[in-house]
A and B are shown apart, each in its own frame.
Chain A
Amino acid sequence: MELIINGKKMALDYKTAFEVREHIGNHTDIVILNGFQIEENFELKERDQLTIIRKGIIPKREELESMMMSRHTPYVHEKLKKGKVAIAGLGGLGSNIAIMLARIGVGQLLLVDFDVVEPSNLNRQSYYINHLGMPKTEALKKQIMEINPFIKVDTQKIRVTEQNVKELFYGFHIICEAFDKPEAKSILVNKALEELGDIKVVSASGMAGYDSANLIKTVRPMKRLYVCGDSQNGAKVGRGLMAPRVQICAGHQANMILRLLLGIEEV
């Protein structure tokens, strides 16, 4: 029977998952079968994906990536690995989205931001005290390389304008619009839809304050435009921006990007 064990195809005659564990590991090792960590034994079927992990041991590099992705639903990682996503704006939305896409193994990311990390970013953005003063592109890439070194990450420390949208984002499957200012959101969404053939844009609008989390949703107002947020709560004097709602919105955007990379266009 052909099995995929720790990322490698193998022809083996074992009937159950725990027999494989006894053979290549020991009885305390974690066993993940087709995306699920099992506690009871399971009979194996042709092309089952099995990952055996020993806690406390740093695995070899060639096994690490398949172990990191072993909790994915089967055959998802192969598709995500081919994904090319550009993230425009690396604030509360973009920094958290980039980390999520890196964790799930999206193969190619472009991180775009002109700014440096400053103290008021830390209430919602994925940066640390030791990043203060560093370009966001650099601070984020450093974190991503510590989370998933198996993906390609490019950076552009630049301000997105009407003039450079086409040049910056040509060749990507999806642009994640993660800016703060509504004018910047408008420029990017308009230019991307006008100038870039079949690129899809996953944008955000309305995640300030601490209104109900349940108001934040994903909609598809145009064929190639998805918008996440509550569409109402803008940041303004007297209404702040904080980690919970910003990260909920980031999660909506990241999940829509994941769905699109898997060929699902419905919200």
Chain B
Amino acid sequence: MKVNGKNHTINDNQNLLNFLESNQYDITKIAVERNGEIIPKLMYRQVNLKENDTLEIVSFVGGG
């Protein structure tokens, strides 16, 4: 799987929520696109990641 352009190995049947949490992403501060589609936050648990998936994860920091 590709995450932000880098190769990543995933466990079989890992869901997106699980992946994000185990990689220290704060889900209240991100946006995630899988294979070019934005994934609604409520769907993170339902989305099972696959080997050929491409994830784009944008993490926001504060200030404005």
B10 at interface by CB-CB < 8 Å: no
Q: Are B62 and A180 in contact (CB under 8 A)?
A: yes
- How distant is the Cα of A190 from the Cα of B36 in the complex, in angstroms? 14
* Chain B interface, DSSP helix/strand/loop, else mixed: mixed
Chain B residues whose CB sits within 8 angstroms of the CB of A183 once the complex forms: 28-29
- Interface Cβ pair total, 8 Å cutoff: 83
Interface size on B, residues (CB 8 A): 18
Interface residues in A88-111 (C-beta closer than 8 Å to B): 89, 91-94
Q: Are B58 and A208 in contact (CB under 8 A)?
A: no
- How distant is the Cα of A160 from the Cα of B60 in the complex, in angstroms? 17
With A183-B29, A186-B28, A186-B29 already in contact, the answer to whether A227 and B58 are too (CB < 8 A) is yes
A34 at interface by CB-CB < 8 Å: no
- Cβ-defined partner of B64 (8 Å) among A180, A194, A236: A180
A262 at interface by CB-CB < 8 Å: no
- With both beta carbons as reference points, the residue of chain A lying nearest to B56 in the complex is identified as A221
Q: Are A234 and B63 in contact (CB under 8 A)?
A: yes
A232 at interface by CB-CB < 8 Å: yes
- How distant is the Cα of A89 from the Cα of B63 in the complex, in angstroms? 11
With A190-B31, A222-B31, A225-B31 already in contact, the answer to whether A185 and B38 are too (CB < 8 A) is no
Report the interface size class on chain A: 35 or more
**How far in angstroms is the closest Cβ of chain A from B43?**
10
**How far in angstroms is the closest Cβ of chain B from A7?**
37
**How far in angstroms is the closest Cβ of chain A from B62?**
5
Q: Are A178 and B64 in contact (CB under 8 A)?
A: yes
- With both beta carbons as reference points, the residue of chain A lying nearest to B27 in the complex is identified as A186
With A183-B28, A186-B29 already in contact, the answer to whether A204 and B64 are too (CB < 8 A) is yes
A205 at interface by CB-CB < 8 Å: yes
With A185-B29, A222-B31 already in contact, the answer to whether A233 and B58 are too (CB < 8 A) is no
With A193-B38, A194-B38, A223-B36 already in contact, the answer to whether A206 and B61 are too (CB < 8 A) is yes
Chain A residues whose CB sits within 8 angstroms of the CB of B41 once the complex forms: 190
Q: Which of B36, B56, B58 has the most CB of A within 10 A?
A: B58
**How far in angstroms is the closest Cβ of chain A from B27?**
8
With A190-B41, A227-B58 already in contact, the answer to whether A222 and B64 are too (CB < 8 A) is no
A235 at interface by CB-CB < 8 Å: yes
Chain A residues whose CB sits within 8 angstroms of the CB of B62 once the complex forms: 180-182, 208, 234-236
Q: Are B63 and A193 in contact (CB under 8 A)?
A: no
Q: Are B29 and A190 in contact (CB under 8 A)?
A: no
- How distant is the Cα of A207 from the Cα of B60 in the complex, in angstroms? 11
A179 at interface by CB-CB < 8 Å: yes
With A190-B41, A193-B31, A222-B31 already in contact, the answer to whether A182 and B60 are too (CB < 8 A) is yes
- How distant is the Cα of A203 from the Cα of B58 in the complex, in angstroms? 11
Q: Are A246 and B58 in contact (CB under 8 A)?
A: no
5 residue pairs bridging A and B, Cβ less than 8 Å apart: A93-B64, A182-B28, A182-B61, A193-B31, A208-B63
Known: A182-B28, A182-B61, A241-B64. 6 other contacts (CB 8 A): A183-B28, A207-B63, A208-B61, A221-B56, A234-B63, A235-B63
